[in-house]
Amino acid sequence: MQLEPYIRTIPDFPRKGIGFRDITTLLREPDAFREAVRLMADPFRGERIDKVAGIESRGFIFGGALAIELEAGFVPIRKPGKLPAEVISESYTLEYGSDSIEVHRDAVLPGERVLLADDLLATGGTMAAAVNLVSRLKGEVAAAVFLIELSFIGGRARLEGIPVHVLIDYRSE
């Protein structure tokens, strides 16, 4: 099954000149959603994956499904102030400014292998921050997996040394 036809492009969103890749059109189709999760999980079957960490918010959708598929625990990586227990934070730069993400201090145990999941790889800043969070908790990042990569942006370079798996690669805007 080809998944790209299930991705809708919204022109000029969130600002003029941007073609937003909308995954809700894939999520609403059970066969396409199921196939995306299967294909995202396939490279890791038979590997030891202790936890799947999904990055807020669309990473929760794929990360949770991957955790079930791979019989692993699920770890939410959230925006600041959303997690109730003790957290560690990691800041990262954006095109204009900075942001941060957090994870519970006890979410990943030393030596656990963690698969990081999100819907889209663009600049790589958020995923690089997630890699740092897992490393600070003494976990091992097994890989990062994405439904979509906007490879013309070059974000994969920020994940040097981390295996990256992508289902759909947009090579141009």
Q: Which of 15, 71, 86, 95 is catalytic?
A: 95
Find all residues with CB under 8 Å of 71, minimum gap 6, and list them.
Answer: none
Is residue 7 within 8 Å of 27, Cβ to Cβ? no
d(CA 16, CA 133): 33
Whether 35 is a known active-site residue: answer: no
Q: Which of 29, 38, 58, 158 is catalytic?
A: 58
Q: 10 - beta bridge partners? A: 20
Provide φ and ψ at 24, rounded to 5°. Answer: -60, -25
Is residue 107 within 8 Å of 143, Cβ to Cβ? no
Whether 156 is a known active-site residue: answer: no
Give me the active site residues, please: 58, 95
